[in-house]
Structure 1
Amino acid sequence: MGPTLNEIVISSGEPEKPAENITYMDASLYKAAAIGKIEEFNNYQRPELESLKTPNHDNVLHVNLSDFIEQILFKCPSLLRQTNAKGQTPLHVAARNGHSAIVKLLIKSRAKATDEDLKKLGMDQLNAVREMLRNTDQESNTALHVAARYGHVEVVQELLEFENPDFPYFVNRNQETPLHIAARRINWTALHAAAMAGDVGTLKATKIIVENKGDMTKETDENGHTPLHYAAHLGHDSVVEELLKWDLLAAYVGDKEWEMTPLLMAARQGHGQIVTKILSSCPGCCEKVDKRGWITFSFCGVKEQIMELLKDITNEEVAEKPVRPIPSITISADRLEKEREVHLVVAALIATVTFAAAITVPGGLKKEKGSEQGIPFLIHDATFKAFIVTDALAFLFSLCALLFHFGMLPPFSSIQRPTFLSHVGATTFLGYATYAMVIAFCTTIYVVLKPSYGLSFVC
């Protein structure tokens, strides 16, 4: 038995439309939908979930676009197609809020629709997804219109992934396509888009635009760039020529950040033909400078300096001074192999000697039966303790050196030759093992010869 609900039957008032049964969500259900508590909806079947709405006609998917969507859609897939009072589907709401993961989940859920449902609609999975993507709200906006308006790039990418690239998106009630909306966010005009494309088709579009709206040549985006700025920067010669035919003053406009004119941008990018075209049409442009006080020839000079510097570096000299190359450490594989063999013998000897010394400790062991049998006589001597520590270290370091060398051999190594870094590591550990062994030897001699001060002093 489900929670208490107020059931209201709402009629559209139009005889050709059937009455719509709506069950308004109470506070507990609304809260459950908001936090994604799917258990509260387990007692509702598909027809009941379809009629469960808020006063604004939002269904449970509109209330909460979260992880529990997949479970709700499994119970009632038709919720994907339901709209609220504004004609928005759950996909519209997800696109508006920039939830790219949820947009992907909704599309995936639509693609997983059962064959029976698709058969009723007379379409396959791909067409079912595209039909959902092309649903419009009361303002004739698709989900792509909405995502473009709010600047959610990831959502736009998810929506375009399943759409036919040749599909001509219709305009909304404000005569806007998704491209127009996206362009307006950064104050781009259609002429900006045409100038950036720069191919043969857009050259014709450029002519049509300037013939009908010639004042667009002066319009700037949020960075202060005109269409001529983009055409000059990208090296679109024909577009630059067409724009200059209609408006020469656009060549004198500087951008917001650096006050760079289209001429300076073309010079910076090394577009010589465009520089020539602009100067031939607007010779006064050469006097325009940017914020640094640079003119057209400043960029040309800097470019020449960079090329000369690169040429000098290639010849191992800068400003006629020889450049000393950084020496590289090289060592032959044969030499590494020979040193490895020697190191293996030395490391094995150190490991053997230190292991034997640990068993036959200096001073001997107590042989009397009792709790102290087998304990070294000199266990409380500080020098003896130093011997034990250094002997153990020598043994461990020699084992590390052996492991490094074994790791350099196939099949342990991914290469057939010993590597230089492994060689350095093995050599380092072998050096530490040698030092520790020498100290252990000295402490052994000292602790044994301690009664003879003359001999012990030598060590």
Structure 2
Amino acid sequence: MDQPSTSSDNESGEATQLEIEKDRAIAAKAESSQEVEAQDECLTGMDLPAYRAATTGNIDFLVLHGEHLSQILTPTKNTVLHIYIACAKRSRTSSKNTASINTVTRILDMCPGLLLQANERGDTTLHVAAKHGHDHIVEHLIKLARARQEEACCQLLIRTVNHDGDTALHEAVRFNHLTVVEILTRADPEALYSANDAGETPLYMAAQRGYNSLVSEILETCTNPSYEGPDGRTALHASVIYNDRDLTSKLLDYFTGDKALTKAVDKQGWTPLHFAAFFGHSLIVKHLLRADESAAYVRDKDDKKTALHIAVSKGHLDVMKELISHCPDCCELVDKRHQNVLHYAIENKRFEIQDFVQKDPWLSNVLLNGKDDNQNTPFHQLAASFYKFGHVSRAGSEIIDSSKDFISDARVDKMAFNKEHLTALDMIQANHSFSRLEKKYVQRLSSKVNSGRPGYHTVNDEIKGNKDKEIKIERKEATNQIVKELKQSHLIAATLIATVTFTAGMTMPGGYQSQKGRDQGFAVLTKNANFRVFILTNLIAMTLSSLAVFIHILVLLTAKQYTPFVQIRWVLHLTVWALIFMMVAFYNGTAAVLRDSLVATIAISIMSNMLVLVIMPFALFLNISTLNSTDAFYMFLVNIRVPTVFRFCMFHLRCAKNKIRSP
């Protein structure tokens, strides 16, 4: 008897559950349809008559909708008041301003909720008025908010932020509307204008854009202005970066004693003083140090560099003097590699700073023999800097000449060892890019003072001499292997070019005169300009390639007596230039026999000149990159090749132009 009763209860429970789920589905469907209708309603936008009435301020039309004005929206939820304020024209005449104020008043009388109603971006009517600089409308909106006998309403209107975190003051500052800024700041001087989503406060925006009058107004009116900006920077960072001394002075005077401003660091750990040192703004450096000298001891986040490190690396001696005059002991600070500022001066070849350090007794005492993590002194840094040049011979001499006072300074410890147990002189002697004369010159300068007992360098030189011989043997073997590979490839290329040009010279484009007479046996196209260029360039290519083959034979005969690299370099130049002239000869020979083809003539002219312009820099680079004191003749060739090839290109273009004009 109990089992049927239980089954009926289960069936009734299941029916109830089904009804509940059905009701939920119906409710969800209804809610979804309402959302779709709302979206459709929003997407339909504002009617054209209503939009035109909003832009012109046609009160007669707007009165017809009266209480429903808050529902007349654009797709982005702009109201008729948003549209009217955005479209209103700025005017200096009081009559037009009065008319626009009356229109705003009439609209708000019909629908008071429009005062605080925001669009899709969160902009209120005050945002729009501030953005467009309608100071009279801004002032009137604030009066209307206060007329509601609620001070909170006025503050709410002024302090409301949109979806980007901007207040009306942000918009006024962004577009440099001074009068609007005055109205807003004086209406609510105690407002805390925090940073927007981009990290910008109104004060930072004004400083970053150079709106000094806006900065002055904000500082004079607001009781607690915020100076923060994006990435940890402040308004003082912005004024320093743009070298605005007046603005920097205003900020420092207003925030006197605020060490948080002068020592504020961005995400890189740079203070305003770091930026002033980087750009070399010495007068701003003076202002910053007068306000807070402790900023000179702040080190950045990654490299632990002070402003003095940065000034020295950029070669700003005047900034360095300013820093030292206010904080003499800031020179003792080192970076994360334990390098002092003299390391930086030598690394960046700031020799004027190096001289200044040597002349200053305190700086020379602290910096001359300072060691970094690898126990390298500035003298080691000087020796290491020679390795940074592709051809150290000339660059090294310049550094030696400008640093001879440093090398011969008795206060410099020439015997200091680094972690590799090398002195700076050891590093110079081990540099195989130096000539023997340059090494002896450095050794002679340093031997006059504390460079070790007599005989020390003699022993070292003997040991290094044996190592040098081993290195020279290894280099010679590697050189010989390279020469063998180059000789074979160059010989094949030069021989092919010589063969092709010889064949082209024997087989003239257009053939020979076959008719009996005075011109029998001569070339048919003798008077053709392209043909003449063909003969000239083909002859040059033949000569250069033949000379390259001859030098190959010369290398085989003299390789045991002379270093073959000079000859190989000549062969490379001759082969490249022979290739250039061979291709130009081919193009001109082809153009000579295509007299009636206008398109082909233009194409050939363009391609031949493009070839010269593309390969010419490569050929010149071969000369310049391998130039040394024994190759003075190369420079002569470089000097004559550029104008010669340019004149050749112009001549070739004139030939093509004349051919196009000929009937």
TM bucket (normalised to shorter chain) is 0.3 to 0.5
Q: Given the two structures, how large is their TM-score scaled by the length of structure 2?
A: 0.32
Q: Which has the higher helix share?
A: 2
Q: Given the two structures, how large is their TM-score scaled by the length of structure 1?
A: 0.43
